[in-house]
Structure 1
C-alpha cells in the first residue's frame, strides 16, 4: 500500500539492511524502463511566479529559485516508515538553504488534505500513501498535480552534469505515470512477496518452499503443531492480493500481468493463469491453513501475531521490517522470499514483484512550488537517500543510493539478496496506480473469497467486471503497457 500497505505502502501501508555494496544491490532488480521522460511535457500545472517570497533567483546550484527564508508545508504519511526521515531531511534543508518547514505526520491523509485541496490551499509536498491515501489518479484527473518532468530533468545534486532522472533505477518512475506524465515520485524501492522467521524455520526443520505444493506442506505441518500456515492482513485485502496477483504473473508471465493492466476482456475470465492463482489461494482457505482470526485483523495485528510465531508465513511488501521493529524479537531473523511456483509457471521461482512505492506529490497549487521542487531534488541525492535508509530501514529508487557504511537489518538484507537473485526477472502491476476504483473492487472480491462467502469462479467474474467497467472510461485509453 507504501505501497502501497494499509499503513505504510504499497498501496496502503509501509515499513521495511552487512550492507550491500549498493551498486550490487540496486543495479540488479530494475523493472523494464519505458523511456517515458522524452514524452513528458516540461514543468506544468502550476505557476512559480509569486510575490510572496517563495521565489528567488535561479542559479546552477538553485535551478528552481528556492527562496531563503521561505517556508515549506510538508505532509508525510506516518505509517510503516514513520516520519523521522522527513524530519531529518527538513533539518538539513533548513541548514543548507535557510528554508524552514511546517511538518505534519499523519495517517489521515484524505481527512486532513481533501478539504485543503478542495479549497485550493494544499501543502507544498505530500507523501500521499496509506489506507487513507488520496488516490493519485483522482488528483490527476482533477488537474491537481504538478508534472514532475522539470524536477526529473534538473541537474542531479551528486553529479550536476547529469539529470536527476539519470541516477534513478530504470523503470521505477513508471508507477507515477498518469496519462504519460510522471505526476508522483514513488520514492521507495520495494519488493513484495512472502515473509517468514528464519529462527522458526530452523527450529521446525522447514525449508523455504519453492513450489506451491511445498508451501502447502509447510502450512499443513505448521497446523499440526498448532501454528497458522498463512497470515494476512484481513481488514486490508490489498495484502492477500499480493499473493493472488504474484501467482497470476508468475504462472502466466508478463503477458498475464499486462492483460490486467491493459484491461483485456479476458484478463480474468478466460485466463488460465488467473484461475490457477485464485484457486491456489482458495485452497489455503478451504484446507484451514490460514492463521486463525487473520481475516478480521488489521495489518499490524496480523503482523504482530506472526512476530509471535503464530503463523509460518505472511504476505507483505518490504516496509514490513521497519513497521514491525518494536514487535519483532531480536532473534526472529526476518526473511523475505519470492512467491512459490504453481505447476508450469512461465516465470522462475526467483522472479519477484519489485518496483517503487510510497508516492510523493507536489500539488499544482502549492504556494512554495520552487521550494517543493528543490526539496524533491534533494530527496534524490545520496545524502538524503542514506538518511532515509538509516531512519526507515529501506532502500530508495536512487542508484547506489546508500552509503556503504550503513548496515541493513536481516529482513531488508534478504530483500537485497532476493533482488540480486531475480536479476531481470522482476514485474510490477500498474493498475493499482492507474485505476483505484478497479483495484478497490478486486480487493472487495478478495475479502469475500478469504471469508468463503464466494468461490474462485465468482471472484474471477467480479474481477473481470471491474476490468470491463474501467475499460469503458475513455481516460483509460491514455494508459497502456506494451
Structure 2
C-alpha cells in the first residue's frame, strides 16, 4: 500500500464530505466520541471479530496487559467486545467519526488511509519489541508481513497471522498409493496422472469462487519467468499482461484445470470442494492456511493433512522456493478513536513474540512474528506449512486484487474463470486483462500507488 497521489485523496475526501461534516458536528457535541480518559485513567475500546477462532486469546492477553500496567503504576481501562458482525456494527461508527480505538474489522484499508482514518504505527514499530529488547518490533515480523499495510513508508495495519497459499494433501492416502511429493511442475503433472489412473480426482477446486486460482496463476508465472515479470504487472507497466510469459502461464494453468481439476468442480462452493478433499474423492486442493480450521470437523480420524508449494518449473527463471504469502487478519488503530496512542501500545504488547506464540498454539496457525510459531506446538499440517515458509527464498503477493476491487470483480475473476473453464484461449486471457488494466491506467479516478520494490531475497533472479 505505497502511496496515492494528492488529487485522488482530495477527490475521495470530497466524496466523504457529508458524513465527515456530520461526524464533526456529532463529535463536537461529545455524543459519540470516546473521551479517552476517565478519572485520570486512559480508556481504550477494542472491537474484535468473534469467528471460528473465538476471542479467548484476546481476553487472556488483555488480562496480562492490564495487570502489567497496574503493577507499573500506569493503569489503563480497556473495553473489549467481540461480535461475528463487528464489521456491520462498526460501519456507522466509522461514518460518524467515532470508531473504537483498535479493531481487526476488515474495511477497505486503502480508502481509509486516504481519508486519514487510520493511525500510523511506525513510532511503536521502531521501538524495542516486547520481550526482545535487542530488536525492534518491526524487525520481529516475518519479512514481507507488513507490506500489504504500508503506504508511503508508513505502516497502518499489524497482521496477526502469516498466510501462505499451498497445495494440500492427505499423507495417509499418498502413503497407501505410494505417491511422492513432486519436486518439479512436470512431476506434479505426472502425479496427477497417476492419481487419476487410481480412480481419484487429482485436484479439488472451489469453482464457484475462481479467485482460488489466483495464487496458482502467480506462482506459475513467477516460477516460469521470474519475479520481475510478476512485478511488471503489479506496477501497472503498459503491455505487461501481453508478455509471452503471461500467455504461457495462462496456458499452463488452463491445461492443469482442464485435465486434472475434479469433474464438476466449477459448480462447487469452497466447502463443497473441500468436503470432496476431506472424503478422499479428490487427492489435493489449493487453498490458504485456514483450510484446517475451516474443515477440522470433517477430516476422518486417520487423515494426516500436509502440504507442498506449487513446484518449480524445470528451466524456469524464478526461484522454485518463492511463495505466494502475506500478512493476514490485521489489526488497525483508528485516528478518530478516543486514545489511539494507548491503543498502539496495547497492540504492540498483544503481538509480542510470547503472546503470538500462545496465539499460534491455541488456534494452530502461523504467526506473523518470527519464531513465535513452534512446530511442536501446532498441528502437523501447519508445521509442514511453517517449514515451507521458512525455506522460501522470498514471498510475494498479488496486490492488484485488493487495490482495485471493481476491476477484480468485473475483469480479473470473471476472466480467470473463463480461462479455467476453457471458454477463452490463453491469448484472449492476456488481451482481455491487458485491456482492462489499460482502462485503469487511463482512469484519473483510480488510485495507483508507485512501483513497489522487489521482495527481499529475490535479487538472485537478475533483471528482466
TM-score tier after normalising by the smaller chain length: 0.7 to 0.9
Q: Distance in 2 between matches of 1:362 and 1:278?
A: 40
1:214, CA displacement in angstroms?
Answer: 2.5
Equivalent of 2:351 in 380, 395, 398: 380
Equivalent of 1:116 in 84, 87, 93: 93
Structure-2 residue corresponding to 1:412? 382
1:430 pairs with 2:399: yes
Listed as ranges, the gaps of 5+ residues in structure 1 are: 1-33, 35-49, 58-66
1:389, CA displacement in angstroms?
Answer: 0.7
Moved over 6 A (4+): none
1:102 pairs with 2:80: yes
Equivalent of 1:320 in 278, 285, 291: 291
Is the 1:179–1:479 contact (alpha carbons within 8 Å) kept by the matching residues of 2? no
Q: Distance in 2 between matches of 1:90 and 1:349?
A: 41
Counterparts in 2 of 1:120-135, with a 5 A limit?
120-128=97-105, 133-135=106-108
Is the 1:261–1:481 contact (alpha carbons within 8 Å) kept by the matching residues of 2? no
TM-score computed with the length of structure 2 as normaliser: 0.80
Q: Distance in 1 between matches of 2:375 and 2:309?
A: 28
Q: Distance in 1 between matches of 2:198 and 2:376?
A: 39
* Alpha-carbon distance change, 218 to 77 in structure 1, aligned in 2, over 3 angstroms: farther
Counterparts in 2 of 1:256-405, with a 5 A limit?
256-269=229-242, 271-287=243-259, 289-402=260-373
Q: Distance in 2 between matches of 1:260 and 1:77?
A: 36
Deviation per CA, 1:46-79: give whole Å up to 9, x if none: xxxx99552489xxxxxxxxx7573423122625
Listed as ranges, the gaps of 5+ residues in structure 2 are: 3-29, 70-75, 455-464
1:86 pairs with 2:58: yes
Q: Distance in 2 between matches of 1:172 and 1:420?
A: 13
How many residues are paired up?
A: 416
Q: Distance in 2 between matches of 1:406 and 1:101?
A: 34
Greater relative contact order (Cα 8 A, min sep 6): structure 1 or 2? 1
Is the 1:87–1:103 contact (alpha carbons within 8 Å) kept by the matching residues of 2? no
* Alpha-carbon distance change, 113 to 171 in structure 1, aligned in 2, over 3 angstroms: same
Partner SS state of residue 240, structure 2:
coil
TM-score computed with the length of structure 1 as normaliser: 0.77
1:268, CA displacement in angstroms?
Answer: 1.5
* Structure richer in helix, relative to its length: 2
Is the 2:47–2:103 contact (alpha carbons within 8 Å) kept by the matching residues of 1? yes
Is the 2:43–2:338 contact (alpha carbons within 8 Å) kept by the matching residues of 1? no
Is the 2:145–2:327 contact (alpha carbons within 8 Å) kept by the matching residues of 1? yes
Structure-1 residue corresponding to 2:182? 209
Larger deviation, residues 319-328 vs 109-118? 109-118
Larger Rg belongs to: 2
RMSD: 3.0
1:110, CA displacement in angstroms?
Answer: 4.8
Is the 2:144–2:395 contact (alpha carbons within 8 Å) kept by the matching residues of 1? no
Q: Distance in 1 between matches of 2:371 and 2:406?
A: 36
